[in-house]
Amino acid sequence: MNSLLFVCLGNICRSPLAEGIAKKIADERGLDVRIDSAGTGSWHVGESPCDDSIKVAKSHDVDISGQRARQVTIEDFERFDLIIALDEKNYNDLKRLGAKSLVKLGSFGHDDEDVPDPYFFPGYDGFDKVYTMIESCVSVLFDEASQ
């Protein structure tokens, strides 16, 4: 596994966190993996991750503030070894677009659960819960890839 693309809806909260977390874990493990993120939608193209995602990442020594949202492209399906959807809706959208090497992040240690959109939790707690789930899933993903 040489390259990973994490995909959520707008690429401003969940997938930027997954990208940042994966880069940190890859660095800690000495892995040479190209890691990026994107959204299935185009609403936020060019924007920074949302403030709460930046804040929760920073509290775990992960800096995602330099990331910019982008929309997934068909070319991404050739450029990345693994396309990782953060939830079922994005998984299905990516499949319809033609993604082949496609998995759900929640299938790595979380019984195929969706990584929930933190905006549906009250207050900041949702971002912390989402961070913890993503970190756990990405860790298992790297563990399984190294076997």
pLDDT higher than threshold 90 for residue 121 = no
Number of domains into which the chain is organized:
1
Q: CB–CB of 143/68 below 8 Å?
A: no
Mean pLDDT of 82-109: 97
pLDDT confidence of residue 122: 66
pTM: 0.96
Structure-block tokens of residue 78: 């050739």
- Angle, helices 125-145 vs 51-58, to 10°: value is 60
C-alpha separations of 19 from 11, 57, 59, 66, 123 in Å = 10, 11, 16, 12, 23
Radius of gyration of the chain (CA): 14
pLDDT digits (tens, 9 = 90+) for 20-39: 999 999 999 999 999 999 99
Mean pLDDT of the chain: 95
Q: Which helix (H) or strand (E) holds 84?
A: strand 82-85
Question: 């009250």: which residue's tokens?
Answer: 122
39 phi-psi bin (left φ>0, alpha ψ -120 to 50, beta other): beta
pLDDT digits (tens, 9 = 90+) for 59-93: 999 999 999 999 999 999 999 999 999 999 999 99
Domain extent, residue 28, equals 3-145
What CATH code is carried by the domain that includes residue 25? 3.40.50.2300
Q: Which residues are catalytic?
A: 8, 14, 117
Mean pLDDT of 123-139: 91
Question: 């939790």: which residue's tokens?
Answer: 121
Cα gap 101→141, rounded to integer Å = 14
Cα gap 91→106, rounded to integer Å = 11
